[in-house]
Amino acid sequence: MQRLTALFSAALLATGLMATAAHAQQTQDPAQDPMATQQAPAQDFSDQQLQQFADASQEIAVISQEYTQRLQAAEDEQGQQEVRAEANDKMIEVVEDSGLDVETFNAIGQAIQQNPEMMQRVQEMASQS
């Protein structure tokens, strides 16, 4: 159980990293899109999507651990930014290789934080894979 908690902590950390990158890449003016400032409504995700999230989260946990060590070893701010960018790229690749897009992965990450039943389902899926 402790391993799964660490797994989802790393996945949610990765979600934050990817969300930051996605936000930085977004060129649309939020003032033109009133929905951009509102929180996304709760969604129903398929078992397949939850399994893809669980699988990607496990890989992201490994990447997060590896890059956390590299981040701590970085000598300056520039080095840290390079490590973060490389980690972010790898995590995005893992998510996309799992069959999800980053937006869906992030939405599932947010949903499991707010829904203990969904969190438990994803944890069970992760422990079985």
For the record, the structure tokens of 101 come out as: 């897009």
The verdict on residue 28 lying in a domain is no
The residue type of 26 is: Q
The verdict on residue 74 lying in a domain is yes
pLDDT at 44: 86
The verdict on residue 92 lying in a domain is yes
Contact, 86 vs 67, CB < 8 A? yes
3-state secondary structure (DSSP) of residue 56: helix
Distance between CA 81 and CA 77 in Å, rounded?
6
The verdict on residue 112 lying in a domain is yes
* Counted domains in the chain: 1
Confidence of residue 129 (pLDDT cuts 50, 70, 90): confident
The verdict on residue 41 lying in a domain is no
Domain that holds residue 110: 53-129
The verdict on residue 71 lying in a domain is yes
Distance between CA 42 and CA 107 in Å, rounded?
9
pLDDT at 57: 93
The verdict on residue 1 lying in a domain is no
Residue 22 scores a pLDDT above 60: no
The average pLDDT across 37-64 equals 82
Considering the chain, what percentage of its residues have pLDDT values greater than 70? 67
> Could you tell me the pTM of the whole model?
0.70
Mean pLDDT (the chain) is 78
The average pLDDT across 38-63 equals 84
The verdict on residue 21 lying in a domain is no
What would the pLDDT profile of 80-98 be if each residue is shown by its tens digit? 999 999 999 999 999 999 9
Higher per-residue confidence, 82 vs 43: 82
pLDDT at 101: 94
